[in-house]
């Protein structure tokens, strides 16, 4: 199972919603507390810490760390930080540079032996900035692959581009950096981080194996409602996970320890000012996204001139986020132990509320606007609002998928391949053949079958026997790089909608729904916005009637729907 950097999702979220102007006030903290209670009621489970200007504003656990044992999440529950691990690896490389043992400009071959011709020019800087050309991953996180085997596999894998000429987020590169840390320091990866970074920062509950976590201290992960377990249930060696995960992800920590790490960075406890500047310099543009990659951190300029520095991570089960606005000394750390509640969503909302950059929908407004709206075509939109104050419009008419979710550039030529591959996955699943899904994920077919088989069996127990799968539509994102294909799975009793998100030819994500839906963010004043496809909506009230007005590229002008 691969760890994922949710660049696609974050690029949508940070489009104008974080405009920090003032220090958090007590009113905004109260708004955060109210928001967290709402998301907890909707099923969120995890830990949250928010701090600003030396004050911890929120430090709590929500929901269950272990549903079966009825063990609640607390502020001290241990969770996987996922790919937030990468900034620890980057910090260790810079610490070794301060110690005079390496330079970020050195070629990788200086430390790991002769490289083939196409990789001879790879430097540590290239690895740190995902510009070396390695693919995202080469195997399963929990395969206990050895140092020699991983190095051989990486050197034999063709690069996606010449070093320094492109960007591809890569776990492979950070695992190689972990090997460099071990080679240069003469210590194990975790041992070096613990001695030179964690313990000097006061972080006694961060690491792979060294903290000696008991099983009851960790949050249990849940995937699609099913118990997945914890990292301690996975096959790790005594020094930690194999190299498909080590140094690029999977470190365990607590919200309090991540706060200690932030204070150590901004306070100069473990790294010099020069090294900190290297960490947070926007070195490499992240493809088409409005952000840059530093060393282990994403750097993004916000509306209003402030900078957000962040990273996230997850493996399709649990996920985590850490981000801060240096000019405001505003830090947010969020974990989630379920794939149906994403830490990024919660963190972005908290940051927006604390920075005064997010309007709040009042209960009377939500009640007044909730209802069914009829479009000129006669199709219905069922409108409601969630804990994030997002407008959620559900619909049955499949023609509305392109109208509401498309970006206006979809054609049969640029959507057909994604549609066909998505259908092939669906048809394979109900023949008991998970090979198309495994190929799309780049994972072993046997492991995918073991994971997906019980899920689809459960769906049939709940919804009835499978009848057929139908492709409803494919929409585009990010100038066509991402293709989102929505399928309807008909069962005897209740349908299921599944959206397959393709990044080029790789299956990037899967999302399931009981109904077709379009979500939009609240802008205030009765107006909502969908950054992904620039669709806008506003509520207008006149002569006792309420209208939902839609405008944007996908609707080809303006469309008005009247409330029943």
**3-class SS string, 257-288:** HHHHHHHHHHCCCCCCHHHHHHHHCCCEECCC
* Residues of the chain above pLDDT 70, percent: 95
For residue 516, the surrounding DSSP H or E stretch is: strand 516-524
Region class of 113: left (phi > 0), else alpha (psi between -120 and 50), else beta: left
pTM for this entry: 0.82
Mention every residue, 6+ apart, whose C-beta is less than 8 A from residue 368: 541, 546
- Direct distance between the N- and C-terminal alpha carbons of the chain, in angstroms, rounded to an integer: 47
pLDDT (0 to 100) of residue 20: 41
Question: Using CA atoms, how far apart are residues 47 and 73, in angstroms rounded to an integer?
Answer: 7
Distances (CA, A) of 165 to 121, 123, 132, 201, 392: 11, 13, 8, 36, 41
Quickly count: other Cβ atoms within 10 Å of residue 60's Cβ. Answer: 16
Strand order in the sheet with 506-513: 466-477, 482-491, 496-503, 506-513
Question: How would you class 411 by CB atoms within 10 Å of its CB: exposed for 0-12, middle for 13-18, buried for 19 or more?
Answer: exposed
Question: Using CA atoms, how far apart are residues 140 and 138, in angstroms rounded to an integer?
Answer: 7
Region class of 194: left (phi > 0), else alpha (psi between -120 and 50), else beta: alpha
pLDDT single digits (tens) 158-179: 999 999 999 999 999 999 999 9
SS3 42: coil
pLDDT (0 to 100) of residue 46: 97
What is the chain's length?
564
pLDDT (0 to 100) of residue 303: 78
pLDDT (0 to 100) of residue 11: 41
Q: What is the residue extent of each domain of the chain? A: 7-43+56-323, 363-396+518-563, 401-514
Residue given tokens 């190095």 in the structure block: 151
Question: Using CA atoms, how far apart are residues 508 and 80, in angstroms rounded to an integer?
Answer: 21
Residues of the chain with pLDDT under 70: 1-27, 357
Residue given tokens 């209960």 in the structure block: 363
pLDDT (0 to 100) of residue 289: 82
pLDDT (0 to 100) of residue 92: 98
CA dihedral 488→491→493→494, nearest 10 degrees, is -30
Answer whether CATH 3.40.710.10 is correct for domain 7-43+56-323.
Answer: yes
pLDDT (0 to 100) of residue 267: 96
Assigned CATH topology for domain 363-396+518-563: Lipocalin (2.40.128)
Question: Using CA atoms, how far apart are residues 533 and 519, in angstroms rounded to an integer?
Answer: 11
401-514: CATH class: alpha beta
Encode burial over 502-528: b for 16+ CB neighbours within 10 A, e otherwise. bbeeebbbbeeeeebbbebbbbeebbb
Nearest to 302 by CA among 291, 294, 293: 291
pLDDT (0 to 100) of residue 118: 96
pLDDT (0 to 100) of residue 28: 85
């Amino acid at each position: 199972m691969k760890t994922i950097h949710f660049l696609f999702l974050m690029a949508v979220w940070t489009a104008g919603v974080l405009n920090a102007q003032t220090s958090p006030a007590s009113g905004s903290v109260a708004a955060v507390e109210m928001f967290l209670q709402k998301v907890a009621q909707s099923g969120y489970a995890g830990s949250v810490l928010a701090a600003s200007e030396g004050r911890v504003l929120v430090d709590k656990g929500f929901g269950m760390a272990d549903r079966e044992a009825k063990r609640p999440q607390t502020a001290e529950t241990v969770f996987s930080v996922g790919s937030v691990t990468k900034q620890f690896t980057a910090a260790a490389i810079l610490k070794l540079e301060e110690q005079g043992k390496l330079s970020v400009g050195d070629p990788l071959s200086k430390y790991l032996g002769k490289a083939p011709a196409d990789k001879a020019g790879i430097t540590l800087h290239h690895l740190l900035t995902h510009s070396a050309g390695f693919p995202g991953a080469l195997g399963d996180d929990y395969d206990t692959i050895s140092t020699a085997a991983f190095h051989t596999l990486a050197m034999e894998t063709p690069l996606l581009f010449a070093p320094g000429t492109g960007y591809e987020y890569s776990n492979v590169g950070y695992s190689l950096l972990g090997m460099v840390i071990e080679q240069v320091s003469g210590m194990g990866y975790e041992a070096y981080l613990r001695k030179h970074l964690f313990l000097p920062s006061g972080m006694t509950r961060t690491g792979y194996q060294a903290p000696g976590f008991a099983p009851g201290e960790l949050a249990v992960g849940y995937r699609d409602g099913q118990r997945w377990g914890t990292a301690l249930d996975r096959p790790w060696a005594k020094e930690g996970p194999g190299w498909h995960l080590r140094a690029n992800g999977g470190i365990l920590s607590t919200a309090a320890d991540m706060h200690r790490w932030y204070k150590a960075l901004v306070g100069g406890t473990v790294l010099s000012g020069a090294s900190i500047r290297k960490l947070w310099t926007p070195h490499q543009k992240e493809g088409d996204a409005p952000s840059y990659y530093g060393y282990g951190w994403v750097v993004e300029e916000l509306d209003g001139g402030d900078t957000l520095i962040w990273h996230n991570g997850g493996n399709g089960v649990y996920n985590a986020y850490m981000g801060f606005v240096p000019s405001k000394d505003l830090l947010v750390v969020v974990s989630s132990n379920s794939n149906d509640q994403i830490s990024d969503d919660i963190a972005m909302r908290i940051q927006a509320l604390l920075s005064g950059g997010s309007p709040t929908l009042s209960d009377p407004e939500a009640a007044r606007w909730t209802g069914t709206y009829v479009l000129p075509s006669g199709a219905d939109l069922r409108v409601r609002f969630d804990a994030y104050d997002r407008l959620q419009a559900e619909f049955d008419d499949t023609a509305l998928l392109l109208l509401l979710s498309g970006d206006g550039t979809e054609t049969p030529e640029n959507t057909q391949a994604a549609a066909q591959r998505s259908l092939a996955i669906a048809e394979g699943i109900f023949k008991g053949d998970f090979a198309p899904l495994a190929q799309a994920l780049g994972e072993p077919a046997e492991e995918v079958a073991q994971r997906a088989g019980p899920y689809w069996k459960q769906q049939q127990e709940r919804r009835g026997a499978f009848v057929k799968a139908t492709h409803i539509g494919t929409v585009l994102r990010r100038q066509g790089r991402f293709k989102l294909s929505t399928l309807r799975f008909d069962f005897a009793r209740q349908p299921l909608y599944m959206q397959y998100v393709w990044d080029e030819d790789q299956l990037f994500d899967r999302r399931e729904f009981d109904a077709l839906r379009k979500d939009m963010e609240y802008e205030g004043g009765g107006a909502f916005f969908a950054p992904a496809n620039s669709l806008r909506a506003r509520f207008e009230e006149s002569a006792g009637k309420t209208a939902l007005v839609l405008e944007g590229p996908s609707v080809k002008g303006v469309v008005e729907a009247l409330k029943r």
